[in-house]
C-alpha cells in the first residue's frame, strides 16, 4: 500500500469489494460513506485519525458487517460515525442529523421515533465515547435502510437507566423494561459491570420498524447472557450460551465484554428477539484463528463459508496471521425479522493490531 492513500481510499475500496462479493452495485454505498466522512475522507490515512472514533479499534469511523439470513444473500451494513468539520461529540451528532436530513426524502428516512426521544440524549457536555452513530443497511434491489444508535450513558452511567426507562416509555415499550433488567443485570451491577450501551431505532415508518436495547456485560460468562436471553419467547438460551463459547471460549470474558440486545417491533410491548455479540478479536491469537471459528459458526448455522472468505479477501490482502482485529465481532440473531449470524469486518484503515500468538516462521 502506498503512503498517500486517503481515508476514503482505505474504507471505500474495501466497501466496493464487499459490494461485489454480495452482488450489488458499489456506487450508492460508497457515495453515502463518502458523505459521512465529509472533507476528512480526503485526508491522508497516514496522517492518523482526525477524531478518535470508538467505532473501530484503530479509530476508523466506519465498520462493515455481513448479516447472513436464510432467505437472501447477506445484507451489507456500515456502522459509522459522521464526522463534522470540527469533530466533537456534539458536532458529530449534528453532522449525522444533517446527513440524514439531506437524504430523508429520497431514501424514505423517517424521524418519527427519533423525534420522540431526541431531547433525552441532548447534553451540554456528553459523557462517553459517542452520542449518536448511524448504520446503513444494503440489500439487493432495495433502498438502503438507516438506523441510529444513541448512547444511554450520555448523562453518565448512573443516569443511563432513567434515560432508557423514559425513552422506552415514550415509545410505548416500557412494560417489560424491569423484567429485562432483572434478567440481564447481575445484582448491583447496573452501570458498573452491566451497562446500557446503545438504544437503536430503525428510521423507517413501517410496522416492522425496530427498537433495540443493548447491554454490555463485563467479566460475564456465557450463562449470564443466556439468562438475559431467556425472557424472550422462542429464544433457546442454550443456543446463545453455545454460540458464545464457540466464538469466544469457556470461561469469564474478561477482555472486551459480551454484548446482548433485545429487539422490539411494532407495538409489541415485549421483546421479540435477542442477539448476542461476541468480541471475537479479544479471544483469539490472530485473524487466522478468528476466521476458522467464524467459518465453523457459519457452517453450523447452514451458511456459505466461501462468500465469507471472498469478503475477507475484499477487506484486506495482508496474511491473516499477521494481525488480529479484521473480525471484531461475530453475532447470533434470534427471532424476527431475520434470524441469522452477522460477521463484522474492519478495514484497518489506520493500522493493524499485532497478533498475540507467535507462529513459527517456515524459512
Ligand atoms: N468498537 C466498539 C466496541 O467494540 C463499538 C462497536 C462497534 C460494537 N461495532 C460493534 C459493539 C458491534 C458491539 C457490537 O465495543
pLDDT digits (tens, 9 = 90+) for 177-207: 999 999 999 999 999 999 999 999 999 988 8
For residue 193, the CA-to-ligand 1 centroid distance in Å is: 16
For residue 212, the CA-to-ligand 1 centroid distance in Å is: 15
Q: Which atom of ligand 1 is nearest to the CA of 214?
A: 13
Q: At what angle do helices 237-247 and 222-229 cross, to 10 degrees?
A: 150
pLDDT at position 3: 60
CA angle, 164 as apex, 161 and 165 as ends, to 5°?
Answer: 80
3-class SS of residue 222: helix
For residue 104, the CA-to-ligand 1 centroid distance in Å is: 26
The pLDDT of residue 81 is above 60: yes
pLDDT band per the 50, 70, 90 thresholds, residue 336: confident
CA–CA separation, 156 and 327 (whole Å): 30
**Which residues is 195 bridged to in the sheet?**
216
Cβ–ligand 1 distance for 259 under 6 Å, the answer: yes
Rg (CA), the chain: 19
Per-residue pLDDT, averaged over 139-150, amounts to 95
CA–CA separation, 247 and 292 (whole Å): 10
Cβ–ligand 1 distance for 343 under 6 Å, the answer: no
For residue 78, the CA-to-ligand 1 centroid distance in Å is: 12
pLDDT at position 360: 58
The pLDDT of residue 83 is above 60: yes
Tens digits of residue pLDDT in 229-281 = 999 999 999 999 999 999 988 899 999 999 999 999 877 778 999 999 999 99
Per-residue pLDDT, averaged over 9-30, amounts to 98
Cβ–ligand 1 distance for 80 under 6 Å, the answer: no
The pLDDT of residue 361 is above 60: no
More confident residue, 303 or 362: 303
For residue 55, the CA-to-ligand 1 centroid distance in Å is: 6
Tens digits of residue pLDDT in 95-142 = 999 999 999 999 999 999 999 999 999 999 999 999 999 999 999 889
Average pLDDT value over all residues in the chain: 95
pLDDT at position 363: 46
The pLDDT of residue 71 is above 90: no
Tens digits of residue pLDDT in 161-175 = 999 999 999 999 988
pLDDT at position 269: 79
Sequence-separated (6 or more) residues with CB below 8 Å from residue 130: 53, 54, 81, 89, 92, 149, 151
Position of cell 436495547?
213
Cβ–ligand 1 distance for 63 under 6 Å, the answer: yes
For residue 46, the CA-to-ligand 1 centroid distance in Å is: 24
CA–CA separation, 355 and 285 (whole Å): 6
Could you give the C-alpha distances from 89 to 4, 51, 78, 83, 261, in angstroms and in order? 28, 10, 20, 10, 24
CA–CA separation, 147 and 75 (whole Å): 14
Cβ–ligand 1 distance for 329 under 6 Å, the answer: yes
The pLDDT of residue 283 is above 70: yes
How distant is the alpha carbon of residue 218 from its chain centre? 17
Amino acid at each position: 500500500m502506498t503512503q498517500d492513500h486517503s481515508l476514503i481510499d482505505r474504507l471505500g475500496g474495501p466497501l466496493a469489494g464487499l459490494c461485489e462479493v454480495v452482488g450489488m452495485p458499489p456506487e450508492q454505498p460508497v457515495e453515502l460513506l463518502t458523505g459521512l466522512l465529509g472533507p476528512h475522507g480526503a485526508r491522508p490515512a497516514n496522517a492518523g485519525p482526525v477524531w478518535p472514533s470508538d467505532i473501530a479499534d484503530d479509530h476508523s469511523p466506519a465498520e462493515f458487517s455481513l448479516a447472513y439470513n436464510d432467505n437472501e444473500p447477506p445484507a451489507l451494513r456500515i456502522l459509522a460515525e459522521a464526522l463534522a468539520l470540527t469533530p466533537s461529540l456534539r458536532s458529530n451528532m449534528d453532522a449525522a442529523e444533517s446527513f440524514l436530513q439531506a437524504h430523508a426524502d429520497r431514501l424514505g428516512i423517517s424521524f418519527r421515533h427519533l423525534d420522540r426521544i431526541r431531547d433525552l440524549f441532548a447534553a451540554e457536555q456528553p459523557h462517553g465515547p459517542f452520542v449518536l452513530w448511524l448504520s446503513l443497511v444494503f440489500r439487493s434491489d432495495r433502498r438502503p435502510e438507516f438506523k441510529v444508535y444513541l448512547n444511554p450513558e450520555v448523562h453518565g452511567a448512573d443516569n443511563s437507566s432513567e434515560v432508557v426507562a423514559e425513552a422506552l416509555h415514550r415509545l410505548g415499550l416500557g412494560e417489560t423494561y424491569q423484567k429485562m433488567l432483572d434478567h440481564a443485570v447481575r445484582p448491583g451491577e447496573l452501570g458498573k459491570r452491566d451497562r446500557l450501551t446503545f438504544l437503536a431505532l430503525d428510521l423507517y415508518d413501517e410496522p416492522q420498524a425496530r427498537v433495540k436495547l443493548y447491554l454490555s456485560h463485563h467479566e460475564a460468562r456465557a450463562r449470564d447472557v443466556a439468562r438475559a436471553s431467556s425472557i424472550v419467547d422462542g429464544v433457546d438460551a442454550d443456543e446463545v450460551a453455545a454460540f458464545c463459547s464457540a466464538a469466544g471460549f469457556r470461561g469469564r470474558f474478561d477482555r472486551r465484554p459480551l454484548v446482548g440486545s433485545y429487539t422490539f417491533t411494532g407495538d409489541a410491548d415485549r421483546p421479540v428477539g435477542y442477539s448476542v455479540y461476541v468480541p471475537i478479536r479479544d479471544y483469539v491469537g490472530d485473524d487466522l484463528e478468528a476466521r476458522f471459528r467464524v467459518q465453523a459458526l457459519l457452517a453450523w448455522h447452514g451458511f456459505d463459508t466461501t462468500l465469507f472468505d471472498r469478503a475477507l479477501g475484499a477487506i484486506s490482502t495482508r496474511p491473516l496471521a499477521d494481525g488480529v482485529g479484521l473480525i471484531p465481532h461475530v453475532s447470533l440473531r434470534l427471532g424476527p425479522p431475520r434470524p441469522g449470524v452477522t460477521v463484522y469486518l474492519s478495514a484497518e484503515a489506520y493500522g493493524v493490531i499485532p497478533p498475540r500468538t507467535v507462529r513459527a516462521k517456515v524459512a
